[in-house]
Amino acid sequence: MFASYKFDSVRYHFQKIFKSMGRTAQAGRSGPTLHSLRHFFALSIITRWYETGEDTQSKLPILSTFLGHVESRDTYWYLSACPSLMLAATQRLESSQGVPQ
């Protein structure tokens, strides 16, 4: 019960901040949620790792832990959910195997 109360409080303040920025949800769509912010964060981090040539494979377990994922596969989902990340992963794999681009 306490965890639910904390989440409700965080969600309330998140929505309040969003509205204070003068932003409103588009017609027929809900505004941003904490969950969408979490997805944006994860995708941004992974994208930055690919863009800067980081060893993404070794860093994904760290991101998994940060996101609270019990299984690393839950974090790997982000790679397939975002076409640009899937392309970057494919290009890196092909490059490491000597496949011309």
Q: What is the pLDDT of residues 44-70, one digit of tens each?
A: 898 889 888 898 889 988 999 988 888
Average pLDDT, the chain: 80
Separation between Cα atoms, residue 6 and residue 37, nearest integer Å: 17
Question: From the CA atom positions of the chain, what is the Rg in Å?
Answer: 17
pTM: 0.65
Of 49, 56, 59, 47, the closest CA to residue 85 belongs to 47
Q: Which residue has the tokens 């019990």?
A: 70
**Lowest-pLDDT choice from 19-28, 48-57, 82-91:** 19-28
